[in-house]
Each structure stands twice: as C-alpha cells, then as structure tokens.
Chain A
Amino acid sequence: MKVTVKLIGPLIYEGGFSEKAVELPGPMTAGELSAFVKIDKKRPTIITRNGRAVANSDLIAEGDRVVISHIYSGG
C-alpha cells in the first residue's frame, strides 16, 4: 500500500524528510504510520488524512495523503 506522508515543522528533522511516498508493509493506523516514519511516540502530534484530522487509531487507506504535525498553538 502506497501513501504520501508530509511532515510539518520540527518533525521534518526528526523524520529526516519533508514529504515522500511511502510503501507500507500492510494496513496501518495513523499512529502506526507515524511510528513507521520514526516520529517519537511521546511527541504530541496532530495527524490529518486528506485534509481531515484523524485519531491515531484510524486506518490509513491506499493513496492517502497523511500530514503529521507538531501541535501548534497559533503563535
């Protein structure tokens, strides 16, 4: 299953990339995908799937665009 993962802010330096297509070994939840791209599980994040926020337990589907971001607070 192939998805596009976009990291935001400091996660770029943690994950080592800004945006890339990722081939997943099998079905994954949003939280599992975050760990798969090496984002620290302890870090509070907000994950969106195709522009909509999802829970860590929500399943990711083929072709999704998943954005993982540090939780911002609007400056």
Chain B
Amino acid sequence: MKGWTGFILRVNLTDKTWKKESFTEEFAQKWVGGRGFAAKILFDELKPGIDALGPENKLVVALGPIAGIPAPNTGKVVVAAKSPLTGFYGDGNLGSNVSSHLRKAGYDALIVEGAADKPVYLSIEDDKVEFLDASEMWGQGTYHSNEWLYKKHGKNLGVLNIGQAGENKVLFAVIRSLEGRAGGRPGIGAVMGSKMLKAIVVKGTKQIPQADPDLMRKLGVEGLKKARELDQKSGWSKQSTDAVLGWCNEVNGLPVQNMRHTAHPEAYKLDGEHLNDARIATYGCPSCTMHCGITIHDKEGRESELDYENIGMLGPNINVFDLKQVGSLNYLCDDYGLDTISAGAVLGFYADAIERGAASGDFKFGDAEKGKTLLWDIAARKGETGNLLADGALKAAKVYGKNSADYAMQVKGLEMAAYNCKSIPGQALAFGVAAIGGHHREAWIITFELKHSKRESYGPEKAAKVIELQRIRGGLFEMLVACRFPWVEVGYELENYPKFFNAVTGLDWTLDNFWTAADRAYSMIKLHYLREFPNATRRDDYPPAVWFDKSNADTEGPQKGVVLEYDKYDSLLQHYYDQRGYDQRGIPTMETLKKLGLADEAAAAAKVAKLN
C-alpha cells in the first residue's frame, strides 16, 4: 500500500497500553482518510447510546493520503468522537504539525480509548508512546500549556491540546494547536477533557510512503507556487475571510443581535478593511499558501487571531462593534479552548433570553466586559448560569423554556456559523443538512444563490449546489485532509487533488471517485445519527423557528418582511433528499446504502432503527 502508512495507533488511557494496528487497502480506498476513517471507525467501535463524556467514547485523530506532504495547504488533521453537544458523530479539522509528524511516525490515525485517572498527556515519537504527567498543565489555558510543551519537548513537533473548557467538559470545547488553530466544534475538546488528556505531542522522523515521490514533489512544489500566486493576484489575504463581513452586511446576511437583524450601521468597524489596518502579524497552518489568521492587539494588549466567523459571532451577533473588544473575547475563547462560533451564539442567545423574559441575569447585548466574565464562567462551569450555558444554546433553552428554543440558533444542537439566513433559503438548507449540525464548513452557497439563482428561490438548483459543495468541502477536503481555501477562495483547480492522490497512492482516481467516497461518508454519518436517534424526522433538518417567524423579519431594507416559509423550505429539503437518495426522514434508503457499499453498516443500523 502506498500513500497511506497502513497503520493506526490505538492508545488506551485506562490501562496505559498501546498497539500498532494495520488496516487493509480495501479499507483505505473505501474511506480514504480523515472524516471517512473517523466516521467508519467510530461507527464500528462505539455502541449507540454511550455517554459521550464517558470512557467508552473514543477520540480519533485522522489523516489522509496527502496530509503532511508538501502541497497546497495539507497541514491539517481531523479530530472526531461522539459529540457530547449533538449526541452523535462530530468532527472538525484544524491546522497542526501533527499532520506531518503523525504520518512520519508511521500512522494514518490515532484512536484514544478509555480515560486516565489523573491528568496526562500523550507523547508519540515514532514507535515510542509515553503517558506523561500533565498535572502542571491542568487548569492552564491553551497558550500556557502549549508553551510548556514547547519548552519541554522543543518546537519541532505537533501539538494538540485543550484549555480549561475541555477540562471542565464544556460541550463546545475545541482542540487547539499552534497557538492559533482550533477544531472539533461539537465538543471534541470536552471528550479529550473527559479522558483527562490535556495534550498530545507527536514527533515523527520516518518517510511517508508514496508511490511516486518525485512526481509528488514536483506537483506539490508547482501547486504551492501556483496557489500562492493566485492568492497574491486576487489579494484575498489582505483581508482574509473577514472581507465577507462587509458584504454580508450589505446583502442582509450578517448575524446581528442573536440573528434578530441582518445588518448594522456600525458593522463596518469590524470589516476586513479595519482588520487589515489593525493587523500586527499573520499566521497560517503548515504548508499554507494563503495565511488567513490576522492578529491584532486586543483591548488588553494581547495578540488575538481573528477571522470572519469569530468576529461575526463575537461581534455583531452580540452587538459588540469595537474590534479590540472582539479581539479580547476571541482571545479568551482561544485560551480557554472554547469554540468561538458557539461561544458567540450562546452569549447572543443568553442576552436574547434575558430580553425576552425567559432567563434572568444582567448581561445585555453590547456588554463586552460582562461577556468576558461570562466566558470564564462558561469555561469553568462557574455558577448556575455558567454551568448551564456550558451545555450550549439548545440545552440551555430546554431549561429556560418559554419557547426559547425557537431562537437558540443551532441545528441538531450545534450552533450555526455567522450567516443570518432568514431570507437566504439555500444557505439555511446548507445549515439544516450539514453532516454534523449547523456548520458552514460543509457548504456555503450564498454568492451562488444571489448571482446564479434567485435569492427567494427554493428550487432544486439550490439543493444540487449544496450537494455539490458537500462532496467537495465536506467530502474531498475532509477525507484527503487538506484546507479548501486555495480552491474555494482563489480558484486553485480542484483537478489538482486527484493528481496528488494518484501520485502518492499509485491509483488512477478521478473526481468522480471522490464524490462516491464523499457520499459514502455522508451516509455513514447519517447512520450514526439514526442509530443514536431512531425516531429521527425531517424536522431535525430544519433551522430554528425564528427564521420562519414573520415577527422576526427585517423591518427595513431590501429584505423587509422576508423570512423563510415552512412549506417551501420543506420542498427544498425534499429536493435535497431526492437528489441524495434519502427517505422522507432524511435517512439514506437501503438502495442508496447498498449502492455505496454500506450493506453491512445498514444491517448494523437496522438492529436499532428502521431503514426504508
């Protein structure tokens, strides 16, 4: 087998044992890597109904056949587990040197089982695995613990770590790396914390097996050069992802005041132009050609790395329009290891719930200082409010009652990213049917909706576009494990990726092979969902009720009076199901599963839930 190392490292924290396991080429070609590996491993190894924060849950760190090999933006890893936030499969990706080091250590994936009885960190150095004492780091933020690890092990290694939020099992705690990267929005950091695993450090020195290393080197070097040129020509990196903030504000898609409003006259203070002006440094992931992390000095003078999602959700979504204050909120999330999107959504929800009389408290929209205090309360699960909000917006809404779930801005429990879609049906669908809950990573179609369709359309072309993007963004890139930005933002040709794949594996795949593999991974995740929620319905794929509520419509501007319409959204959902080969509940049919080679997995799911 070439391209893949052919091995998985399995570590058990309960009894401090580890073993190196091989996998077959059939497994490799069927699941490719990253999300594909993780979804299959967790389906096979986790019993439905287990406690996501118990020792029986497993953390998977998965890579793909081009991960860690010099080529455009291949320095990423996928982290996955049963999500404590959503109750089914959850994953995320983040830039990390673990990508190259774990592969060079000889592994395509790491499975962490069991739980330690005191804080530990895992050290992997080629064939040596050690369980080391993390008590000095426990209770520390991600910046301090990352630095502690660098001092102890040097900087030539890959690090994954958690902050206090992960330790305290905040349900939207993330895993961090490189002091600026974060991944695993559905509480994968909490899973790590539940295992008392503070960090993973990896150092590898072997060669990654490749079918044609000379060809891969040539393609990789050319690709890096081309992707950099495209970025420089487009000027994308000048404002990075935050350029979209100003645009969202202009087209009424910005999350303002817990997504009550879609634009704000002060939003420009947070736009890409202002972020670029405030820039003190720029950071990216390993092998990155278009560094998206722009740092500024926050209100307290610390260096805080910002992009659109964290600005959108910690800025306008809670009515904070001071970039330095947004920087402070973001810095705290990063240090505590809180997901910035969910943190912004939870703060927005809490302020909204207070205003609407569902919750009590003194937090108001626009109060950045109180927001900072609340972030610590959440990360530490301090007090009744901090402890409740640490469970995410939906679970908090269930406690608050009074229909507050209607404006808990989430899908399947995962808080939605920074796009207000009450008048953008296709993107609302993209959130509704995202594999792991309300995530923008899977599909983003707003410019398509406005430019190549009609904004108000609920037609099949939007469902088709969502599927097309899911196959690319949630499939190809999450399985190869590479960043989508060179393709998605500056037009680096998609056709390059099968070339990389073929050079390292010796196979002869086309993009169509990846679409089949992507569809298989999506169906696999749907089976995870069905197994955990046997009574799943299509309503689970609906965005929050407030987006359908006329009283929440814009009161001025071009989208005045417009909200989503239930019957039309449902028909759009049906277009998606029909094109996907899913049944009326949004679950793949037996025919679809068999076509994708998932008969065995279907039989396993059918033991606990009905398949059509």
Contact = CB atoms under 8 A, between A and B. Distances in A.
Given A51-B250, A51-B557, A73-B489, A8 B451 contact: no
A72 B448 CA distance: 10
B252 A51 contact: yes
A75 B250 contact: no
| Chain B at the A interface: SS class | helix
20 contacts: A6-B246, A6-B250, A9-B243, A10-B235, A10-B239, A10-B243, A14-B235, A43-B234, A46-B450, A51-B250, A51-B252, A51-B557, A69-B243, A71-B447, A72-B243, A72-B247, A73-B447, A74-B419, A75-B292, A75-B489
Interface string A36-52: 00000001001010111
Interface of B: 234-236, 238-239, 241, 243-244, 246-247, 250-252, 272-273, 292, 307-309, 419, 440, 444-447, 450-451, 455, 485, 488-489, 557-559
Given A53-B450, A67-B250, A8 B243 contact: yes
Nearest to A53: B450
A72 B450 contact: no
Given A72-B244, A73-B447, A75-B444, A53 B455 contact: yes
Interface in A48-73: 48, 50-53, 67, 69-73
A13 B272 CA distance: 12
A9 B238 CA distance: 8
Given A46-B447, A53-B251, 6 more contacts: A9-B235, A9-B244, A72-B447, A74-B444, A75-B485, A75-B489
Interface string A3-38: 000101111111000100000000000000000000
A73 B492 CA distance: 13
Interface footprint category on A: 20 to 34
Nearest to B271: A8
Interface of A: 6, 8-14, 18, 43, 46, 48, 50-53, 67, 69-75
B451 A71 contact: yes
Contacts of B308: 75
A75 B473 CA distance: 10
B489 A72 contact: yes
B446 A18 contact: no
Nearest to B485: A75
Contact of A51 (B235, B251, B440, B445): B251
Contacts of B559: 51
A67 B246 CA distance: 10
Nearest to B445: A74
B321 to A, nearest CB: 17
A4 B399 CA distance: 48
A45 to B, nearest CB: 9
B106 to A, nearest CB: 33
B243 A51 contact: no
A75 B307 contact: yes
A20 B292 CA distance: 28
Contacts of B444: 73-75
Of listed A18, A48, A51, A72, residue having the most chain B CB within 10 A? A72
Contacts of B445: 74
B246 A52 contact: no
B246 A8 contact: yes
A50 B273 CA distance: 21
Contacts of B447: 46, 71-73
Contact of B244 (A13, A52, A75): A75
A11 B238 CA distance: 10
Contacts of A8: 243, 246-247, 250, 272
Of listed A9, A50, A74, residue having the most chain B CB within 10 A? A74
Contacts of A14: 235
B344 to A, nearest CB: 15
Closest 10 CB pairs of A and B: A74-B444, A10-B235, A9-B243, A51-B558, A53-B450, A73-B488, A75-B241, A67-B250, A72-B244, A8-B247
B451 A12 contact: no
A56 B236 CA distance: 22
A9 B557 contact: no
Contacts of A12: 273
A11 B272 CA distance: 11
Contact of A48 (B235, B251, B307, B419): B251
B243 A70 contact: yes
A49 to B, nearest CB: 9
Nearest to B248: A72
Nearest to B307: A75
Of listed A12, A18, A46, A73, residue having the most chain B CB within 10 A? A73
Nearest to B243: A9
A25 B234 CA distance: 29
A69 B450 CA distance: 12
A48 B250 contact: yes
A8 B446 CA distance: 16
Given A46-B450, A73-B489, A75-B309, A10 B238 contact: yes
B247 A10 contact: no
A57 B40 CA distance: 50
B450 A9 contact: no
Nearest to B244: A72
B529 to A, nearest CB: 24
Nearest to A14: B235
B306 to A, nearest CB: 12
A73 B243 CA distance: 11
Nearest to A65: B250
Given A18-B273, A51-B250, A10 B236 contact: yes
A38 B600 CA distance: 59
Contacts of B238: 9-10, 13
A75 B446 CA distance: 12
B440 A74 contact: yes
A46 B450 CA distance: 8
Contacts of A69: 243, 247, 250
A6 to B, nearest CB: 7
A11 B557 CA distance: 24
Nearest to B557: A51
A42 B239 CA distance: 21
A44 B297 CA distance: 34
